[in-house]
Amino acid sequence: MRLPPTRARLPDWPERLADLLDARRDQPFWYGGQDCGSFAGDVALALTGEDPIAWLRGAYGSEAELDAILRDLGGFEAAAERTMAEFGSPEIPPAFAQRGDWALVEAGNMLLLGVVVDHRVAVTGLDGLRYVPLRMARRTWAI
């Protein structure tokens, strides 16, 4: 079952999502701007006009700095869960995820935040966005 998020999407959210995906298509990875959390946060901001990761922006610029923040929060998955709870975005089964929703993807030994795009999840890669099958999503949240 899909529970509705507490924030409404903006009327032109489909265009905003398409524009953001297009703008980030070939943008290289960098901590604090084009990493998986920043990308997912940027999508939520574009779709709703509100930023679920405002508390994190500008707080890190390297892997070590991000790791220290995440360690204090109980790890990456715990930080994502807390962020979505505070943003009012309910967790939903991956089968009910829709375009623009957040997905926590397990890729090898890594966890990545991404954004659902049809039957795939857009995630940040070293040299731009990559798309993985939605079936790789371990958890999803409605945006």
Cα-based distances in Å from 116 to 58, 73, 104, 119, 122: 25, 25, 10, 7, 6
Lowest mean pLDDT segment, chosen from 21-25, 31-35, 92-96, 105-109: 105-109
Neighbours of 96 (CB within 10 A): 12
Task: Take residue 97 and report the two structure tokens written for it.
Answer: 């995820």
pLDDT in tens, 61-105: 999 999 999 999 999 999 999 999 999 999 999 999 999 999 999
Domain range summary for the chain, segments of one domain joined by +: 13-141
The CATH-assigned architecture of domain 13-141 is Alpha-Beta Complex (3.90)
What is this structure's pTM?
A: 0.92
Structure-token match 């623009």, residue found: 100
Mean pLDDT of 115-134: 96
Task: Take residue 6 and report the two structure tokens written for it.
Answer: 């507490």
